[in-house]
Structure 1
Amino acid sequence: MINHVLHVFTLALYSLHVNTGSIKSVSIKGSKTGWLAMSRGANWQSNAYLDCQSLSFSITTTDGATRVFLNVVPSSWSFGQTYSSRVQF
C-alpha cells in the first residue's frame, strides 16, 4: 500500500495557436512562491513543489512577446487535467 507519494516535479505542455514564433522561456509561479524558471525539454518542467497552490505562468516567445497568465490553474488541480486561459498573444 502506498501511504505517501513524493512529488518530484511539475511538467507543463503549452500550445500556441497563433503565429507568434516559438516559445523561448517559461516561468511558473505558485500562490506561495515567486516566479521560477522552467527547464526546456520535450516539455517544460520545474523541480519546485507546487502541490495545493494555484499556478500562474509567464511565457516569452522567440520574437520577444511576453504574456502573463495569472491563476490559470486552481489550487485544487490534479495530474492529468487540462487548463486554459483567455489571455492570447
Structure 2
Amino acid sequence: MADVLDEVYAVIADRKVNPQEGSYTTSLYNHRKGIDKVLEKIGEESTELIIAAKNGGEKEIIGECADLFFHAMVLLAAKDIPFEKIKGEFERRRK
C-alpha cells in the first residue's frame, strides 16, 4: 500500500511545481483561497467520512477515507512536508 501512496504523493507534489491545466490538484494549489481551500476540503471530506461511517456501507467509507487521505497529502505537499516524514512518524509510533 505504501507504494501506491508514495506514487500518489509524488504526483501531488509534482503538480505543485509543474501545474497541469485541467488537473484537480493544480486547481487546489491555484485556487484564489490558497491553502484555505485545501483546509476547507479536508474539513468537508472529514465530515463526509463521519457520515459514511454512520450511515453508509463499506464502499462509501472507503471512498470518503481515500478522499480524506488525498486532501491531507495535498496539504503536506503544500507545506513542503515530505510523505516520508509521515511514514517515519508511523514507524516511530509502532515501536
Q: What interval of TM-score do these two structures reach, taking the shorter chain for normalisation?
A: under 0.3
Q: TM-score normalised to the size of structure 2? A: 0.23
Q: State the TM-score, normalizing by the size of structure 1.
A: 0.24
Question: Greater share of helix residues, 1 or 2?
Answer: 2
Higher relative contact order (CA 8 A, sep 6+): 2
Relative to its length, the structure with more strand (as a share) is 1
